[in-house]
Amino acid sequence: MSVIRRRLRTVAVAALATGVALGGTACSKSDDDGGSEGGQVKLVLQTFQNFGYDQAIKDFEAAHPNIKVEHQKMGELRDFQPKLVQWLAAGSGAGDVVGLEEGVLLQYVQNHDKFVNLLDYGAGELKSNFPEWKWNNALTPDGKKLIGLGTDVGGLAMCYRKDLFQQAGLPTDREEVSKRITTWEDYIELGRQFKASGKVKAAWLDSATSLMQPYVMQNSEVFFFDKENKFIGDTNPVVRKAWDMGLQMAAEGLTAKAQRWSADWDAAFKNSAFATIPCPAWMTEGVIAQRSGPANAGKWDIATIPGGGGNWGGSYLAIPAQTKHPKEAYELAKYLTSKEGHLAAFKEAGAMPSDIAGIEDPAFKDKKSDYFSGAPTGKIFGDSVKNLKPVFLGAKHQQVWETIVEPQMQAAERGQLSSEAAWQKAMDEAKKATS
């Protein structure tokens, strides 16, 4: 009995102490809001996948001794996104700085009241650091509110397996390969040659759906939505063209039919199941090198993308309106999207800078990748975004692509249903989801 009682008392004391401590924190927090000096501020940074910020954060903390940054890596975008929506709606739980992918960014621009206006904190001076389209994407239509600063851009290239090319009797030199695939028609033609050689078991491309994003991004100003956010995927001829081209390749046996982002896809890299894959900058070290493993080091190389240039993916950092420390959060976001932050992220995760000075910096420009046979990644990706036209994605782009169109296209690729039936189904579902 006495033991129990003593324990109860301990619990009570502990509970009381916690309560006092919590109350104390709450007080000190509100003090911070009042702009008190000397107190240390803790910022929470939430990102998905791999932003490559480990070193950049250390540098930031060294330069700002009063700020401590807790970096929460939230897994894949699809895991992080629903949580963020809930936290924003609930008014608590979101980090002080959060990563937003361009595919979901517009959804937040539409509901911009959940975010701090970065222009209020002096972000206007940073405008010239970024390509115009990257800046404008995070701006409200009236141009008065900016919710995000650009992190990386997804400059596009074509990654290919040198060793498989050689076995099939194709050129292996990256200049030569780039010349042979200047258009997508050339690219498919080379794939036919690759297969016709009969000397390799591997397919030409990982999946029919891989071709879709780069092709549409290069050839259309809009994707599934027009600029009024109305669904036009069913009438956008470029989308249909890419769909048909991809599935045509699948029908000719040129694709490995691996479902992107599945365990089979991962294994397909290791098992050398395909010879080419369109690769945005963030995919090189972070995805391809990781999945192919050390055994395949030096077998990959990088050529330019057919159709010349293009962008795929890329993210932003935003500050939820619920933050208690908007000023410090802005400092952090500003640092991470500065030249230094961009270059650190590039070094760590291969994320390509969207900062113009960063793209021109030798640290990026002269960068060569050992894993990819010493390919000058900096130059290839840098060139690919030079002539970039902005593409309007629409608020629900990611949802329509990842949960509706891509799975249907994969089903058609695996021969579960005809291309026509899959297209019809995808468009019906997309219309329903966006109405």
Partner 1 sequence: MSSAVGTRPRHAAAPPPRTEPRQRSYRLGRWDITYSPYLYVAPFFILFGVFGLFPVLYTVYVSLFDYELLSGTKEFVGLENYRVLLEDSQFWNAAYNTVGIFVLSTVPQLIAALILANLLNRQMRARTLFRMGVVIPNITSVAAVGIIFALIFADRYGLVNWLLGTVGIDPIAWRDNRYASWFAIAFMVDWRWTGYNALIYLGAMQAIPKDLYESASLDGASAWRQFWTITVPLIRPTILFTVIISTIGGFQIFTEPLMYGFGMIRGGGNHEFQTLAMYIYEQTFTGNAEYGYGSAMSWLLFMMIIIFALINFALVRRSVKGEQK
Binding site for partner 1 (CB under 8 A): 1, 76, 78-79, 81-82, 85-86, 88-89, 107, 110-111, 258-259, 261-264, 267-268, 271, 273, 396, 399, 403, 407-408, 410-411, 414, 416-417, 425, 433
- What residues contact residue 18 under an 8 Å CB cut-off, 6+ apart? none
Residue type, 1: M
What is the nearest approach in angstroms of partner 1 to the Cβ of residue 107?
A: 7
What is the nearest approach in angstroms of partner 1 to the Cβ of residue 279?
A: 20
User: What CA–CA distance (Å, rounded) separates 136 from 243?
Assistant: 29
Q: Of 14 and 21, which CB lies nearer to partner 1 in the complex structure? A: 14
Q: What would the two tokens of residue 311 be? A: 């962008």
Cross-strand pairs, 332: none
Q: Of 107 and 337, which CB lies nearer to partner 1 in the complex structure? A: 107
Q: Of 252 and 261, which CB lies nearer to partner 1 in the complex structure? A: 261
What is the nearest approach in angstroms of partner 1 to the Cβ of residue 270?
A: 9
Q: Of 354 and 399, which CB lies nearer to partner 1 in the complex structure? A: 399
What is the nearest approach in angstroms of partner 1 to the Cβ of residue 141?
A: 16
How distant, in Å, are the alpha carbons of 40, 81, 245, 327, 413 from that of 319? 19, 15, 40, 10, 41
User: What CA–CA distance (Å, rounded) separates 289 from 50?
Assistant: 14
Q: Of 108 and 371, which CB lies nearer to partner 1 in the complex structure? A: 108
For residues 309 and 131, is the Cβ–Cβ distance under 8 A? no
How distant, in Å, are the alpha carbons of 34, 80, 81, 82, 100 from that of 74? 31, 6, 9, 11, 12
Which of 366, 367, 230, 392 lies closest to 311 in space, CA to CA? 392
> What is the DSSP track for 186-226?
HHHHHHHHHHHT----SEEES-GGGGHHHHHHHH-SBSSB-
What is the nearest approach in angstroms of partner 1 to the Cβ of residue 174?
A: 29
Q: Of 112 and 299, which CB lies nearer to partner 1 in the complex structure? A: 112
What is the nearest approach in angstroms of partner 1 to the Cβ of residue 425?
A: 8
Q: 143: left (phi > 0), else alpha (psi -120 to 50), else beta?
A: left
What is the nearest approach in angstroms of partner 1 to the Cβ of residue 77?
A: 11
3-state secondary structure of 46: strand
Q: Of 16 and 267, which CB lies nearer to partner 1 in the complex structure? A: 267
User: What CA–CA distance (Å, rounded) separates 290 from 363?
Assistant: 22
What is the nearest approach in angstroms of partner 1 to the Cβ of residue 203?
A: 11
3-state secondary structure of 40: coil
Strands 352-353 and 148-161: antiparallel
Residues 398-426, buried b or exposed e (16+ Cβ, 10 A)? bbbbeebbbbbbbbbbeeeeebeebbebb
- What residues contact residue 346 under an 8 Å CB cut-off, 6+ apart? 52, 152, 352, 353, 358, 363, 364, 367
What is the nearest approach in angstroms of partner 1 to the Cβ of residue 130?
A: 26
What is the nearest approach in angstroms of partner 1 to the Cβ of residue 8?
A: 11
What is the nearest approach in angstroms of partner 1 to the Cβ of residue 408?
A: 7
Alpha-helical runs (H) found in 296-372: 326-336, 339-349, 356-360, 362-365
